[in-house]
Chains A and B, each alone.
Chain A
Amino acid sequence: MKLTEHQVQHVARLARLALTPDELSKYGAQLSAILDAVDALSQVDTSGVPPTSGVDTSELEARLRLGGSTPHLREDVVAGEVGAKAALANAPQVEGSSFAIPKVIE
């Protein structure tokens, strides 16, 4: 699948990447090759297979059905605050206890 220069430009812009015309064609070709490689997967018949969005949860779901509780949850307590001083330790510019950045206006 050959990406158009316009599509490559758009993706670059969304990622805030400034590409030279040379880079545009270089990365455009690489991106197209990656899509082609992934495209090979579409030859496999996956009808009836639910899309996988992350880890396999079939075991967890089975446990839930047997009365287990939802795993991977955190108790609602305040913990692990680092405070403003540490939060700002690497900030290039600080004002008060805020990060100061070049002005952004709607």
Chain B
Amino acid sequence: MPRSDFQVVIGLEVHAQLLTTSKLFSGASTSFGGAPNAHTSIVCLGLPGVLPVLNQQAVELAIRAGLALECTVAERSEWSRKHYFYPDLPKGYQITQYEFPVCLGGRVTFDGADGEKSVRLTRIHMEEDAGKLVHEGSVSLVDLNRAGTPLLEIVSEPDLRSADDAVEYLKSLRDILVWIGVNDGNLEEGSFRCDANVSVMRHGSNTFGTRCELKNLNSFRFIKQAIEIEATRQVEIIESGGKVDQETRLFDPQRAETRSMRSKEDAHDYRYFPDPDLPPLLLSKDRIEGERAKQPELPRARRRRYVEALGLPAYDAGVLTADRAMSEFFERCLAEVGDAKQVSNWFMGELSRLLNESKSTISQVKFTPAQFGAVLKAVKDSVVSGPGAKELFADLFATGKEPSVIIQEKGLAQVNDDGPLLEAIAAAMAESPKNVESYRGGNTKIVGYFVGQVMKKVGGKGNPKRINELLVEKLKG
């Protein structure tokens, strides 16, 4: 039976670093980089006699994430010790939530290959990260800067049926966490990490196969690759009459294979027990509901609203909601202008171009929504021409000066007065009687030539519409 007769079944465990300033149970900094062990305290070093004290911001962010992912936030959750020996874990145990996590249930919705899909979440819990090991020559170097950093572990049900869907699920989850300010979404620095539980079963079967847990998946590309390689490996074992062993496997991108992590063999006996140093985490209903009331509109809902209520193309809505700061700025500009299509066109066109060219982000822009509104009003009132508006906007983007000042300084105001335009028209006609004859002989297309001439005479600042009107009138004679 070929690979296509089998269905892959995937559940994902995501570790997302909470955006706190200090660690989960101590005041040591969570900042990335820095000399090894610079950001350590007696608590994250695991020195004897110290006591952990829970970071309230971590709790706040966990509640926020739980609500955004449609979980039930627990009014009571507990801390447990998970024991294992490894040099990156100075205490000999990790503080985590085991039996009673902070969030239960929930879901993540994403666009799969064949439409919208929803994956159920099992749970979300908080835990502390371990340190980092670097292997050098005959020794391993231990850096505990990361030890004790707060993580959110988000566990999905085995609802995913393809590697592509797994990636889309992760992107959607990451979008939400970044949007609500819980996580920075950075896979390279390891602040958003993923382990995948993968098994295979024959199509139509109701019984899942034995699963393997894949580790070391630090990019979306690797995640897809690792799942596909692992599924093929398991199908081959089953096809040749073998049995898949439940184990933890490491993905090796260089060799494009997954291999067994023997060292984890008896690691599953973690001897969990409630941490006697930490009381249960108690959250009042009011606290949870208060947080729910503060929930922002989430990216998918906002995208839909942009399409359905504002009439924007789906592509534009996607670009405008790819980043919360961009979307919020769009909303504020929209409030000034009122015409969503028009604002969107400026954002998608000129603003995106200028941001790209200057390698800057939306949070760095120097102009205000009111100034943006002033530019669009100048166009609407024919104060500036179309090309003039682009120049005005580029200058506004670069300097943040008032649009009215820029118009004056750069001489961008259109000539709307008939007087100078009529003078220019008369001069242009006098210079070129042949073309006037041609027009009168029926070649009305020649008006374009005259518009060009007139525009040149007024320094490119004439209102083209008005020039056209006046020209036609005069040429007809």
Contact = CB atoms under 8 A, between A and B. Distances in A.
A in complex with B? yes
A68 interface: yes
A106 interface: yes
B141 A98 contact: yes
Chain A's interface: helix, strand, loop or mixed, by majority?
Answer: loop
A21 interface: no
Interface stretch (B35-43, B206-214, B292-300): B35-43
Nearest to A86: B40
A93 interface: yes
B458 to A, nearest CB: 62
A68 to B, nearest CB: 7
Contact of B266 (A14, A73, A84): A14
A97 B29 CA distance: 17
A39 B57 CA distance: 42
Interface residues of A, number: 45
A76 B58 contact: yes
A77 B22 contact: yes
A72 B266 contact: no
Contacts of A88: 37
A6 interface: no
Interface stretch (B108-116, B130-138, B307-315, B431-439): B130-138
Interface in B265-288: 266, 269, 271, 274-276, 278-284, 286-287
Contacts of B86: 104
A81 B140 contact: no
Given A57-B279, A74-B27, A87-B40, A106 B250 contact: yes
Interface in A50-101: 53-55, 57, 60-61, 64-65, 67-84, 87-88, 93, 95-101
Nearest to A60: B282
Contact of B36 (A55, A71, A97, A105): A97
A101 to B, nearest CB: 5
Given A75-B56, A81-B27, A70 B287 contact: yes
A12 to B, nearest CB: 12
B287 A80 contact: no
B45 A54 contact: no
Given A14-B266, A81-B27, A82-B41, A98 B20 contact: no
Nearest to B90: A99
B27 A79 contact: yes
Contact of B140 (A72, A73, A100): A100
B237 interface: no
B21 interface: yes
Nearest to A53: B274
B138 to A, nearest CB: 6
B41 A81 contact: yes
Interface in B5-48: 20-22, 26-29, 35-43, 45
Interface string B76-87: 101000010111
Contact of A96 (B21, B43, B45, B141): B141
B36 A98 contact: yes
B426 interface: no
Contact of B29 (A10, A78, A93, A96): A78
B256 interface: no
Contacts of A53: 78, 99, 274, 280
Contact of A67 (B54, B85, B274, B284): B284
Contacts of A80: 26-28, 41-43
A83 B39 CA distance: 6
A79 B266 contact: no
16 contacts: A54-B274, A54-B275, A57-B76, A57-B282, A61-B282, A71-B282, A72-B54, A73-B55, A73-B59, A75-B57, A78-B28, A95-B136, A96-B35, A96-B141, A101-B87, A106-B261
Closest 10 CB pairs of A and B: A79-B27, A76-B57, A98-B141, A53-B274, A73-B56, A99-B142, A84-B37, A80-B27, A74-B53, A98-B36
Given A72-B278, A104-B140, 14 more contacts: A54-B275, A61-B282, A70-B284, A70-B287, A72-B54, A73-B53, A76-B56, A77-B22, A78-B27, A87-B45, A96-B36, A98-B37, A99-B142, A104-B87
